[in-house]
Amino acid sequence: MTFDLLKTDEASKARAGKVTTDHGVIETPIFMPVGTVASVKGVHQRELKNDINPDIILGNTYHLYLRPQTDILEKAGGLHKFMNWDRNILTDSGGYQVYSLSANRKIKEEGVKFKSHIDGSYHFFTPENVMEIQRSIGADIIMAFDECTPYPCDYHYAKRSMHMTHRWLDRCIAHLDKVPVKYGYNQTLFPIVQGSTYKDLRKQSAEFIASRDALGNAIGGLSVGEPAEEMYAMTEVVTEILPEDKPRYLMGVGTPINILENIALGVDMFDCVMPTRNARNGMLFTAHGTINIKNRKWAEDFSPIDEMGITFVDTEYSKAYLRHLFSVNELLGKQIATIHNLGFYMWLVREARKHILAGDFYAWKNMMVKQMDKRL
């Protein structure tokens, strides 16, 4: 994997770059749709490619390990072939999913014992076998095994957890070298910065991660309930330290406003379930604010979903029609809303890139944040 930094905004730390892997070019800043179980919920791969058009999507190691299981993925030739996706894929390490199973897991130095949410069976993740699982899945970018701490988090617990994440990283790096790639293309490991919302811990962790000289780096443990101001403060601490010539991935973030503010702090890559999850509940993101399409006020509004025509569905369907689909619980409504939201997120990061390259990102970002912070 290579990363070319093309331009940095003069009024902020926003960057436009280009990541190149064996599955193609990723123009940054980028948003990665979440394909948890080898599927972006409710969207055909054809629509992903033609209508949303991301350079990269994300899969979840924990979920893919449980279903369909790695032996089936290996027989298929890896996740790309299994789901018929010929562009880039990133997999997380399972650390966040294990964190979310707080009542059903036990963390030790060796690894994490957890109970499957599907059938109650017990499993054990270690830094070593998570590297093996991600080799079997076959994503282009894979994540080191880490512990994601909750919010709020006791300082001493956060410190112990951070140091264990660092030890786990060294185990990941050592073991990955022993496990050959399976499908004829390269995989790139990203370490993960932790440290909860403590600036001194975030600084320590960023310095440790930077010292490992990986080809890219991730920031974890944010967007777990902390106020947005704390997220931005922690991100700023970390991006001041992580090397400029490597891509930076902020995990699990976030709202359109979160994404623009973190781009301004020097982040290059994002993922979040929010656009798809909110879409299924009737919440649409637009350049002028959010729409709850279930509201009665849209019942006779025959204007396009978004007058800007950011995605193909915006001009084909009216607000009244989409509201009708939700009111009768028609699955097509959720699909249209999902494609709209994902399309809007892709438009947003691509517009950000254009404005970084044009040299007016900061003013555009401030205008967009003000516009989007409304309920329509």
Identify the CA nearest to 193 among candidates 253, 147, 227. 147
Q: Is 4 a catalytic residue?
A: no
Q: Are strands 88-91 and 56-59 parallel, antiparallel or unpaired?
A: parallel
55, 268, 271, 314: the catalytic one is 271
- The Cα–Cα gap between 173 and 181 comes to 14
Catalytic residue among 92, 140, 146, 268: 92
| Contacting residues for 180 by C-beta, under 8 A, at least 6 apart | 135
**CA gap 212, 197 in Å, rounded:** 22
Please name the residues in contact with 51: beta carbons below 8 A apart, sequence gap of 6 or more. 311, 312, 313, 339, 343
Q: Are strands 248-250 and 217-219 parallel, antiparallel or unpaired?
A: parallel
Contact assessment for residue 57 and residue 85, using Cβ atoms and an 8 Å cutoff = yes
Question: Cα–Cα distance between 286 and 301 in angstroms, integer?
Answer: 16
Please indicate whether residue 92 is annotated as part of the active site.
Answer: yes
Q: How far apart are CA 314 and CA 147, in angstroms?
A: 40
Rounded to a whole number of angstroms, the CA Rg of the chain reads: 20
My answer on whether omega of the bond before 29 falls inside 30° of 0, hence cis, is yes
Which residue, 196, 198, 197, is CA-closest to 148? 196
Q: Please list the active-site residues.
A: 92, 271
